[in-house]
Amino acid sequence: MPVPEGYRTEIVGGHIFMAPQRNTRWDIILDIIEQLRAKYPRKHVKSGIRMDCPGRLNGFASDVVALADGARQGVRGRWRHGDVEFIAEVISKDTASNDYGPRKDAYAAAGVPVYLIVDPYTGEWHLHLHLHLQPKDGKYHVDVTFGFGFGFGFGFGEEIDLTRTAVGPVLRTDDFPRD
């Protein structure tokens, strides 16, 4: 299927989604990648690469992926979801429900220990993880989704403390732009 220039295509639950790349999304993605480089070598931080996850026809091109030491590509040249330590998705208006729903479920089922959702429309971020750094029963068991005092997520400007996870650094969000 031909994809127009400036668009990204993914398969989520057997449905094809095509979304344009926006400057705001790219600026946040690059900011996260640059901060992860404090711990991860360049070859272990990826963006927009194909990764198959458990579930019905899931072929994701995640916004940010941090791979564990010793990570290797599978038979078809795709990164193995078992080698992923961290994924971040930056919300697009048209596909936001995928990031909060099917993706979150697929990443938990795949054993991704840390999943971060960044929403430039609300200026919030939502962190999903498991205390033992591995999701159990295909679900995340710790969701840091309270903030602003009312349970809606932490806002831009608040640090994302990943020091007690396999990821390690504290991510700063004060330079994240808003849409």
**Model confidence over 88-122: pLDDT tens digits?**
999 988 777 778 888 888 888 888 889 999 999 98
Decide: residue 14, CB within 10 A, 0-12 exposed, 13-18 middle, 19+ buried: exposed
Q: Which of 123, 122, 124, 142 is nearest to 132 (CA)?
A: 142
Per-residue pLDDT at 149: 36
> Over the range 153-169, which residues count as b (16 or more CB within 10 Å of their CB) and which as e?
bbebebebebeebebeb
The whole-number pLDDT of residue 38 equals 93
Burial group, residue 66, by CB count within 10 angstroms (0-12, 13-18, 19+): buried
User: What count of Cα atoms within 13 Å lies in the side-chain half-sphere of residue 157?
Assistant: 6
What's the rounded mean pLDDT across residues 77-88? Answer: 88
φ, ψ (nearest 5 deg) of residue 97: -65, -25
Asked which of 2-6, 57-61, 167-171 is least confident by mean pLDDT, the reply is 2-6
Per-residue pLDDT for 55 more than 50? yes
Residue 131 tokens read as: 């205390």
Q: Hey, what are 14's tokens?
A: 């057997």
Averaged pLDDT of the chain = 80
Quick one: average pLDDT of 41-67?
A: 84
Spacing of C-alpha 48 from chain mean position: 10
Of 108, 97, 118, 99, nearest in space to 61 by CA: 99
The residue type of 37 is R
Return d(Cα 71, Cα 51) in angstroms, integer: 13
Arithmetic mean of pLDDT, 37-43 = 94
DSSP annotation of 107 reads H
* Residue 178 CA to its chain's centroid (Å): 18
